[in-house]
Amino acid sequence: MAIELVWDGKRAAAAEAERASTSIGLPEGNVVVEGDNLEVLRALEDPVDLIYIDPPYNTGNDFTYHDNFAGHEAWLSMMYPRLLLAHRLLKPTGSMLISIDDNELDTLTRLCKEIFSDDRVEVLVWNTEAEGSSGTLKQVRTVRSSHEYVVACHGPQVQWNRIHEALAGREHELQTANLAVNASRERSDHPNYFTITGPHGDEFTRQWKWDRDEIRRLQEEDLLYFGRDGRRQPRRVIPTDHRRTTYLRSILNYGGTTVGRKDFEAVMGREIEFSYPKPIVLLRKLILSASGPEATVLDFFAGTGTTGVAVEAANAEDGGARRFILVQQPEPAGPRAVDAGLPTLAAITRERLARMNVEFSPVYVT
Ligand SMILES: C[S@@+](CC[C@H](N)C(=O)[O-])C[C@H]1O[C@@H](n2cnc3c(N)ncnc32)[C@H](O)[C@@H]1O
């Protein structure tokens, strides 16, 4: 047993989890709930398979959302009842993943170990510059910080999936597959029967497995292989990163802070204020790894709704039918968002999902 974490207000915080509530019936399918997550967590009844949350880190900075709690104790008192309720909602096969940085890593990990037990908590490191950095010069005294954490808390029967990953150092190794259909099944009147010209002008007329547009795309992306001498019938190059399956590594090299910002700006423009949305690729990898195709995924600090976008992306990748439940309180948005007709952060959550054609039912809990 870990050393118990004690702070003033711990008992009162735990009592918050026990307060009575009236249950709210959620519709089927994807749901975005506007309301305080404590209220919503008390009211939820159906167990969930995966919880991802990205709570305020307590940096003390002036972000779009409130991120300045009076010290660790106030932050812990905010988190404790929510984590107790989340733990209760989680299936024994499920996991709860929590993004955090150095400000509260220590307190959060100890609290999680208390709730889930010592051996069911793992700390993963997220490389916040995995796809490059913003290049901004920051004043530092020692090292430039380029990582955050994901604290993973597991139910007693957890089993994660293997995911598709590039094989480090072998990404450029050549693997090819047939591009032409089997000669015995070839038909010269088929629309895919046409000529491909090799790099030395050789012509290959066959029925191909893909149509002209796709072949043109492959050729442009240099994914046709005409043999070592460049004169053989073309084959399709299979990039190695589509072949390999592996377990998620404890160092998460996905996206980065700037990628999260770019994902958000791609649909919302540069004006709308929101501090540090997470990159879709990070959450997609976590979801693919930690949940099955039928999972219900809960995020009760939804922000811009990245978890919802990533659930859809995970489904697109593995053919799954996961659904999400997001909770976001109607915290006032920044002045430019207000000008754009988005008065609250919850309005931003809904707007981003709507612009990305992600279907969901909005629910309001007051
Ligand atoms: C760090 S942001 C989450 C960012 C999100 N992961 C993304 O990619 O956009 C934390 C969010 O939690 C929300 N939040 C804070 N306290 C909450 C509460 N009690 N109930 C619901 N949402 C809350 C904040 O308004 C903020 O939008």
Cα 71 to averaged position of ligand 1 atoms, centre (Å): 19
pLDDT in tens, 2-39: 678 999 999 999 999 999 888 888 999 999 999 999 99
| Cα angle, residue 252 at apex, residues 249 and 254 outer, rounded to 5° | 130
Q: Give the residue whose CA is nearest to atom 26 of ligand 1.
A: 303
pLDDT per residue as tens digits for the range 82-119? 999 999 999 999 999 999 999 999 999 999 999 999 99
Give 304's DSSP letter. Answer: T
Q: Give residue 172 CA to ligand 1 midpoint distance, Å.
A: 40
- What is the distance between the alpha carbons of residues 94 and 97, in angstroms, rounded to a whole number? 10
Average pLDDT, the chain: 93
Report the distance separating Cα 195 and Cα 179, nearest Å. 12
Domain covering 28-166+246-364: architecture = 3-Layer(aba) Sandwich (3.40)
Closest CA to 133 of 258, 253, 278: 258
Query: Is the beta carbon of 54 within 6 A of some atom in ligand 1?
Result: yes
Q: Is the pTM of this model over 0.85?
A: no
For ligand 1, say whether the CB of 58 is within 6 Å of any of its atoms: no
66 CA from centroid of ligand 1 (Å): 9
Q: Which of 328, 344, 358 to mutate to test the pocket of ligand 1 (most atoms within 8 A of CB)?
A: 328
What is the amino acid identity at position 139? Answer: Q
With H, G, I as helix, E, B as strand and everything else as coil, classify residue 107: helix
Q: pLDDT at position 168, please?
A: 60
* Residue spans per domain, the chain: 28-166+246-364, 176-237
The CB of 328 under 6 Å from ligand 1? The reply is yes
What does the pLDDT read at residue 70? 77
Nearest CA to ligand 1 atom 3: 303
* Residue numbers of the chain with a pLDDT score lower than 50: none
